[in-house]
Structure 1
Amino acid sequence: MALILLFSRKGTAEDPAKGIIGAIVDHTSRIGKEEKVAMEMAIDDFRLYSNGSLRLHIENSQREPIQAALAAMDLINKHQVQTIIGPRTWEEASLVAEVGSQAHVPILSCASATPQWASERWPFLIQASPNQQAEIEAVTAIIRSWGWHRVAIIYEDIDSVASEVIPHFTYALQDIGAEISRLVALPPFASSLSKELTSLKKEQCRVFVVHSSLSFATHMFQQANQMGMIEKGYVWITMDTITSLAHSLNASTISTMQGVVGVKSYFNETEPKFQDFYVRFRKKFSLEHPEEENHELGIFAVQAYDAIWTVAQALVGNNLGGQHILEQISLTSFHGLTGLVEFTGRRIAPLRRFQIVNMIGRSYRELGFWTSESGFTDTMDEKLDYNPSMRTLGQVFWPGGPWSIPTGWTLPSSYKTLKIGVPIGSVFKFFVNPMYDSENNLSFSGLTIKIFEAVLEYLPYYLPHQFIPFNGSYDALVLQLVHPEKFDAVVGDVAITAERNRHAEFTYPYTESRLVMIVPVQTRNRAWLFIKPFTKSMWALTTIINIYNGFVIWLIERNHCSDLKGSVSNQIGVLLWLAFTTLFSLQGQELHSNLSRMAMVMWLFVALVITQSYTANLASMLTVETLEPTVDDIESLKISKAVVGCSRGAFVANYLEKALGFHTDNIRRITAPEEYAQALRNGEIAAAFLEAPLAKLFLARYCKGFARAGPTFKVGGFGFVFPKGSPLLVDISEALLKVSESGKLQELENAMVASQKCVNMDWEEEDSSLSPNSFWVLFIITGGTSTVALLTYIAHDHRTLMNHWTHCKRRIPRKVSDLESSTNSPNMPAS
């Protein structure tokens, strides 16, 4: 039964009319064979559908551009074709387009790599094959899924690929953070293929994308298989020009491509109209090409079938010439074997759906699909959420076996061990500590070394390495990475800076990215601490309430107690005495009025709460030692032109000078933690500026007498360093993130800080017992009050004492004279 296609043409003529279609294919290629059979079937099907008398003339290009141009001239001049369906390569199609434009004959180019400017140069050229932009996006999505960041592209050395495909690949890879490590352009069956493959094998990149004809690809894979490049660790990705013909490959050819992943144009093979075409195609193809082992069909056959229907619709009832035919082709819209066929600006709508296949065994396995709308999917359900990772498609059989995912790169064969530079001049040996054994062999320990070793455990491959000491500045060490023969990486407490990043690349920081100010601390002045339990408003309110309650009680009790009467000054003194002694000693039974007793009861309750709260708060303040930094912010340091300290490296000093505004003369370089502590203790520097991890270590070791102060400042942190473009960078950064997320990084840092034993630095230990130091103001007040009272008392009673003394002196002589006169009296008896 003939295949019936539903279509809607935007033209108006529907009467049967004679039409002549020309086609140029390569009869020697599998694509050309499938196209020829499909075109002939399309002509027969359209005749049955429209009763039209269309004719088809097919010429052989032999994949030679000149032969294709001669074939086009022959079709136009000899067979008077009204349109030509052009060849598959752009080199052939461009010459055919020139011939067609001169003769005003529309040319439907089947070449995929057609430049954007081609339609402007050749006005009768129509792009009938989808461009490769979406296909390139599918390939880069595969690369991104597995975390590969360097790709080598192998392609046939033809202008269309170099000018159209490679630029698109470059931009697409940049969007996912990858790059092309090498472009290998080879002419078909080049004698240099073995040489180029040998060169690729010596390099680090192991991800190869192949864009070529099927004949070139089969020859290349045979060579690569013989050289051991289709083995574990390698990745091969083929484009549609190869993968869509995988059905035509024999078992021996597929055996050389085990593990290859390919992108294949998708079309719906389940629809009844395709099933009918499929059965008839296999029968016709087997009869015309018995030499072919496989009679399956691919995307190129169905595209050729739809191309004939596109031209046939434009030719039906059309006798107006090439320009009108061109317009009718541009307006065509119908559902063909490939899906919806329509044109925009003389370009067919791009293909947005692809199959992902995996060469395995004697054939290939369909892993899933990729679409621009849904990403990777197991089915073609358009309602699925976007999934960017190919990993969801299940197990992939990679070259060498299915169980290990290729890393995408390897160490060059020129060396077997990674040379890692390690600084030995670190101020803090906790990060990098060079050690010599009894035989003078050098080894390294420290937090940075432990973190790097933990990172290596998370790599999916073994990375042999050797630590090499470097005695010089950190800037000079980073510059060594510019010369690959020196170092392949740097591991140490190397700060990430913009200047260093110009010459090398850093991993994610493995420490806090902050700059911290360290200053000495001092004990807070506690002489006036006794007033701190209450706020000023509380003290004022308590005083007012005391005076008011004293006044109320005095006013009520003055008529019942003679002690509350007297002079004005006496009554004021009694009032104040009543006001403030209610907190401590006034007893309710001494009052005579129930009103005063009621007021006193309430006030005693309030007084109890106030005194207990005061006592508790004061006790808490007195028993907790309070330390405060000697410097609060950097502004006070700059205003006072104080000297500050930093490490001997240029990074922090430059930051202090340029970012924070310190004068160069006020910045002192320090080379050891002990020097920081001593300089801060002696006042040689007012503050020290350290990166956050160094500050943690310093405060862990010198836990008394120093503290952080002021704001922190955002800086780069410490990171591992690699040369520009190193494939190791991404893997190390990813492994570093895994170490951090697992908690191992924090565990190592905590262990390092906990290992530091606090050094006393001769700071005086303070006993926790309360001393008179906290109460000397109170002692002065109460002692002063007593002294004033004593002096007042002495001054008040001084005159009385003197008068009494004078009176005594006057009476003593009189008594003596009286005694003598009485002795000498004749009336006295003799002794």
Structure 2
Amino acid sequence: MIEIIVFLVCCDALEHKSEEEPQNKLNGIGAIIEYDSRAGRQEKLAMQMAIDDFCAHSSSNYSYCPTLLINDFQGDSIQAAFLTRTMIKEQNVRAVLIGLETWRNALLVAETGNGHQVPVLSFTNEVPIRTCEHLPFLVNAARSQQAQMKAVAAIIQSWQWQKVNVIYEDIDSAVTGIIPYLIEAIQTVGSQISSLLPLPLYSSNINILGKLESLKEKQCRVFIVHTSSIHLATKIFKEAKNLGMMEEGSVWITTTSITNQIDLLNSSSISSMQGVLGIKTYFSQSGKRFQDFHSRFMVKYRNQYPHELNLEPGILALQAYDAAWSVALALEGRNQSCKDHQNRTDYPSKQYNHMVSNVCGKELLDSILRSNFDGLYGSFKFNMNNKLPQARVFEIVNVVGRSYRELGYWSEGLGFSKSIIHNSRNNYNVSMRILGQVFWPGGPWTVPRGWALPNSSKPLRIGVPARTTFKDFVEVRYDTKGNPVVEGFSIDVFKSVVELLPYHLPYVFVPLHGPYDSMVQQIQLESIDGVVADTAIIANRCNYAEFSQPYAESGLQMLIYFKPKRLERAWLFTKPFTPVMWAFTVITNIYNGFVIWRIERDSHPELNQGPFSNKVGTMLSLAFTTLFSQQGGEKLTRNSSRMAFVVWLFVAMVITQSFTASLTTLLTVDQLTPTTVSVETLKKTGAKVGCDGNSFVVKYLEEVLRFRPENIVKMYSGDDYPQALQTGKIAAAFLEVPYAKLLLSKYCNNFTTSGQTFKIGGFGYAFPRSSPYLPDISQAILKVTENGRLLELEKKMLSSYNYCSSSRNDAEHNGSLGMNSFYGLFLITGGTSTAALLIFNFSRDQEEDGGGGGDDDDDDDNDDAQEIELSEVQSQALIEPGRDHQDDRAANNNNAEENHQ
């Protein structure tokens, strides 16, 4: 542990001193360090070199060259504060204190200096903001390392580790100045903090061992270590190695507070850190001033400490050099002002000493804050918040063997690079992979997963619903021993996915009761390790878990029932005309037939033969024959009947074409327009709608589609939907697309979807947020989809219901017209023909029963022959209208007489 406090002696007017007393006592700089610390020894030498270099190059009289007073505080913060007070009160100095390393130790010294209004320069990386507010004389001479947290996050993102553990020193500077920035940076790259492990500064090995064991029991194997004390860090790594946590599959990352001091560690400490990735503060070593300092430092350090092997100056030595230089530079500009106050004799001694202390302390503080020079570590210039520029570039190192090797660099806003090239962006990349091979803990060259696989003794506990609405997706049964047997489409898909993982993932199914939301919440409570079921991916559930890639189609559909229209289709030909139209058409046709019969009966005597019923039949037959026969108009002999025929033919053509067009429209609309029911119609009519009572659909219907709760019927079995729809218990059922497909395959006839498909997430598997194996599961789901296995499983689920599709009438699918559309017409014509045949047979039977002997039969035969010949002649007369009708009648009469004779 290192504590260095530099006291700048300024302007202390003591009681009358002799003229011979050296003036340089007024310019003394005091330092408090820990001699047993290598960092303290390096800082001591660096500050001595800074004062010597300043005096050698100072433009002022050498008598004003500051002196350096050094004390050993032996790692005790109370001792450091006591030495500070002694230097101020008893050694006739008023000083600026520079506290090094831990903020906890520097705090007492800073409060002592602030009480005497002496500026204090601290070397701690992060000084709490609230501390600066009540310690106005405190100056942070170290550069903020907050940007390194982005470098740590970039490393995590490069290797896609989902969760990390953070081990940190439980002090204010870490809690308020480091950890919040680290958490934010990690969350920005999509990872999460698995565990935060605070350790007291003076933690014992036993305490550290117990804390690390708690982390070892968890799955995450990525560890970030941040401590201001290098001694605490070495304890952590030694105990981690003893527990086997530095083996293959683990990742350890250290922050700058540790890595900057890694040069100071002995071989024993380095051996326990093999494979560690470190973030190290970068500083340029190419400048002439640095090269000169570097060579002189190594020579002097070797002379003073010949037993030490590592002679390279670290970042703490550079900070000490620049801080001492800034104090000396500020002191040079304030010597004359303090000397003028010192020569005044018009104040009592105590009042005089207090006044000189106040004036010189404030002036010196302002002068330090106005420092502006190029130091060994970079530009030494405070901003408006009295802070030095933040470190923006960091070196990435990998501990290997007895030391470490430099992998490359990370620059804020640019990313990783093999070298620092400020004028080119082409050499930077967001991924650390461009830095080359990393030696990971345990020695392997393969990238660690960053998490431990569950073993057979402690498999993943996968929750499944004990009771489901649709058992084709998930069904839980129990064997004779009471062990759960889980089957279904969702389970088959999950098993296929696990088979494609690049590692063995042991798991056991745990049946859970209750709605799906509560099952997903059990993941956050760590009661289970995941949920495998027909679980819809919705926003509310994402608050408790993270979902895999969907394995089933997404969407919410409305399923309705429609009654068959076979009877209506059979009589569809009557639909083009209204009943009044049909009646008027029939009456008009009969009337026109009567008109033509009346006009033509004089020209056609056969129209008057027979009883009245025969005349009516002849009249109707003539009307239809003249209307639909191609030569019907030629049978008419009078112009008046022809005129009536032409007009009626024109009207009939219009009516026929209108009938054809209307019937075509009805048939087309019947094929192209499915039965539809809208959500708005259901809400306006107050119709009941059904949905799965265990799913999110209940809330969706209430909150999104705005159905009244009393109109929502909760259903808990998939087989209840068809009956509820057929009986009218519900007017529509809202089902997720996979469920709707299943029901349509199972109950195909008279059920259909209606309205739009509402966009929702599909079915997915739920796991803890940032689960390490979740990306692999999502990738495996895509593979199952692409290789056709998912489609095969879906067909397998629906195969037992495929008979439903084949049983449908093909005419209903291809738009062709079948017998069901015209059997009404065939019924009419068939019935009419059958009735006519029955009447004819009945009449003939009556005539046969009432007939006499053979002569009568012969006479009847002759009469029939005569009638047949007469009919043929009459027909021939109608066909040949040009003949003279009188001659035809005479010829017919003669023939009749001859036949009679």
Structure 1 Cα separation of the partners of residues 303 and 54 of structure 2: 22
**In the alignment, does 2:385 pair up with 1:371?**
no
Partner of 2:57: 49
Unaligned runs of 5+ in 1: 1-15, 532-565, 585-609, 781-831
Residue 6 of structure 1 is matched in structure 2 by none
Q: Of the candidates 391, 396, 400, which is equivalent to residue 356 of structure 1?
A: 396
**Equivalent runs, 1:414-425 vs 2, <5 Å:** 416-425=458-467
What aligned pairs does 1:776-791 form with structure 2 within 5 A after superposition?
none
Query: What CA deviation, in whole Å up to 9, does each residue of 1:84-140 have, x standing for no partner?
Result: 333322123222222322333222111112111233322221110022322233223
Distance in 1 between residues matched to 2:115 and 2:480, nearest whole Å? 89
1:523–1:628 Cα contact (<8 Å) kept: no
- Once the 2 structures are TM-superposed, how far is the Cα of residue 691 of structure 1 from its aligned partner? 0.9
Question: What is the aligned counterpart of 1:178 among 192, 206, 209?
Answer: 192
Please name the residue that 1:142 is paired with. 155
1:651 match: 696
The answer to whether the 8 Å contact 1:495/1:718 transfers is: yes
In structure 2, distance between residues paired with 1:369 and 1:454: 43
| Alignment match, 2:896 | none
Q: Is 1:210 the equivalent of 2:225?
A: yes
Residue 100 and residue 683 in structure 1: after superposition, are their counterparts in 2 closer, same or farther (change >3 A)?
closer
Q: Confirm or deny: 8 A CA contact 1:521 1:628 kept in the other structure.
A: no
8 Å CA contact 2:745, 2:805 repeated in 1: no
Matches within 5 A, 1:215-234: 215-234=231-250
Aligned to 2:624: none
CA apart distance, 1:660: 2.7
Partner secondary structure for residue 268 of structure 1: coil
Q: 2:34 is matched by which residue type in structure 1?
A: D
Q: Does the 8 Å CA contact 1:330/1:343 hold for their aligned counterparts?
A: yes
Counterpart among 514, 535, 547 of residue 494 in structure 1: 535
Structure 1, 746-755 or 201-210: larger mean CA deviation: 746-755
After superposing the two structures, state which structure 1 stretch, 318-327 or 742-751, moved more. 742-751
Alpha-carbon offset, residue 685 of structure 1: 3.8
C-alpha separation in 1, matches of 2:530 and 2:176: 36
Query: Which of these residues, 39, 43, 47, is aligned with residue 35 of structure 1?
Result: 43
Indicate the SS of the match to 2:696. Answer: helix
Following superposition, the deviation at residue 24 of structure 1 comes to 2.7
- 1:446 to 2:488 alignment: yes
SS in 2 for 1:304: helix
Per-residue Cα deviation, 1:699-741 (whole angstroms, up to 9, x for no partner)? 344455433221222445433334xxx46x5334423432354
1:468 aligns with 2:530: no
Cα offset, 1:340, TM superposition:
1.8
How much has 1:477 moved relative to structure 2?
4.2
Provide Cα deviations, 1:486-523, integer angstroms capped at 9, x if missing partner.
Answer: 53322111334566666666556544442111224678
Pair 1:759–1:775, CA change in 2 (3 A)? closer
8 Å CA contact 1:250, 1:293 repeated in 2 = no
SS at match of 1:494: strand
Of the three residues 795, 799, 802, the one matched with 1:758 is: 802
Partner Cα separation in structure 2 for residue 665 and residue 148 of structure 1: 49
Q: Is the 8 A contact 1:267 1:339 kept in 2?
A: yes
The match for 1:69 is 81
1:339 is the counterpart of 2:378? yes
Change in 2 beyond 3 A, CA 1:420/1:661: same
SS in 1 for 2:334: coil
Richer in helix (by share)? 2
Determine the C-alpha separation between the residues in 2 that align with 1:445 and 1:688. 26
More displaced stretch, 241-250 vs 278-287: 241-250
Partner residue in 2 for 1:632? 677
Contact conserved, 1:638 with 1:662, CA < 8 A, in 2?
yes
User: Is contact 1:153–1:209 with CA below 8 Å preserved after alignment?
Assistant: yes
Q: Whole-Å Cα distance in 2 between the matches of residues 682 and 669 of structure 1?
A: 16
2:866 — aligned with what?
none
- Partner AA of 1:744 in structure 2: T
Q: Which stretch of structure 1 is more off in the superposition, 280-289 or 732-741? A: 732-741
For normalisation by structure 2, the TM-score amounts to 0.68
The corresponding residue for 1:277 is 293
TM-score (norm 1): 0.74
Give CA deviations for 1:662-704 in whole Å, capped at 9, x if unaligned: 4455444444444434544565543221112222333344455
1:339 positional shift: 1.8
Q: Which runs of 5+ in 2 are unaligned?
A: 1-22, 338-359, 577-637, 828-901
Matched, 1:688 2:733: yes
Distance 1:758 1:414 in 2: 41
Structure 1 counterpart of 2:15: none
> What is the Cα deviation at residue 80 of structure 1?
2.7
Task: Name the CA distance, whole Å, in 2 between partners of 1:236 and 1:448.
Answer: 38
Structure-2 separation of matches of 1:510 and 1:773: 42
Amino acid at match of 2:159: W
Please list, as runs of the form range in 1=range in 2, the aligned pairs for 1:569-608 lying within 5 A after superposition.
Answer: none
Please give the per-residue CA displacement for 1:802-826, whole angstroms capped at 9, x wherever unaligned: xxxxxxxxxxxxxxxxxxxxxxxxx
Letter in 1 for 2:425: L
| SS of corresponding position for 2:149 | helix
1:315 alignment partner in structure 2: 331
Q: Is the 8 A contact 2:493 2:793 kept in 1?
A: no
Query: Over aligned residues, Cα RMSD in angstroms?
Result: 4.3
Show the counterpart of 1:328: 367
Distance 2:425 2:575 in 1: 72
Alignment partners' CA distance in 1, 2:113 and 2:369: 17
- Structure-1 separation of matches of 2:327 and 2:418: 35
The alpha-carbon deviation at position 49 of structure 1 amounts to 2.6
Q: Which amino acid aligns with 2:271?
A: S
Find 2:177's aligned residue among 145, 164, 167: 164
Instruction: Tell me which structure has the larger Cα radius of gyration.
Output: 2
Contact 2:749 2:808 (8 Å CA) reproduced: no
Q: Any idea what the Cα deviations from partners look like across 1:14-40, whole Å, max 9, x if unmatched? A: xx9984333333222121111112222
CA distance in 2, matches of 1:158, 1:737: 41
Whether contact under 8 Å (2:381, 2:389) holds in the other structure is: yes
Aligned-partner SS, 2:763: coil
Distance 2:297 2:808 in 1: 99
Quote the residue 1:188 is aligned against: 202
Residues 42 and 471 of structure 1, relative CA distance in 2, 3 Å threshold: closer
Q: Is the 8 A contact 1:140 1:172 kept in 2?
A: yes
CA distance in 1, matches of 2:787, 2:468: 22
Q: Deviations over 1:233-292 (max 9, x none)?
A: 222211212211222334443221111111110101233332222222211111111232
User: Mapping of 1:792-803 within 5 angstroms?
Assistant: none
Q: C-alpha distance in 1, partners of 2:456/2:292?
A: 58
Q: d(CA) in 2 for partners of 1:529 and 1:496?
A: 52
Q: Give the Cα separation in 1 of the matches to 2:172 and 2:760.
A: 49
SS at match of 2:108: helix
Q: Aligned pair in 2 of structure 1 residues 369, 517: CA closer, same or farther (>3 Å)? A: same
Q: CA deviation at 1:210?
A: 1.9
SS of equivalent residue, structure 1 residue 338: coil
8 A contact 1:25–1:61 mirrored in 2: yes
Please give the secondary structure, in 1, of the residue aligned with 2:39: helix
Deviation at 1:465, TM superposition (A): 0.8
Give the letter for the 2:804 counterpart: N
**Contact map agreement 1:264 1:357 (CA 8 A) in 2:** yes
- 1:544-583 to 2 correspondences below 5 Å: none
Pick from 399, 402, 405 the counterpart of residue 444 of structure 2: 402
Cα 1:298/1:579, change in 2 over 3 Å: farther
Deviates more, 1:201-210 or 1:688-697: 201-210
Question: In 2, distance between residues paired with 1:216 and 1:414?
Answer: 36
Judge conservation of contact 1:451–1:745 (CA < 8 Å) in 2: no
The corresponding residue for 1:711 is 756
Q: Which amino acid aligns with 2:756?
A: P
Q: Report the AA paired with residue 190 of structure 1.
A: S
Matched, 1:130 2:143: yes
Percent of paired sites with the same residue: 42
Secondary structure at the counterpart of residue 636 of structure 1 = helix
Alpha-carbon shift at residue 206 of structure 1 (Å):
2.4
Is the alpha carbon distance of 1:245 and 1:504 closer, same or farther for their aligned partners in structure 2, counting shifts above 3 Å?
closer
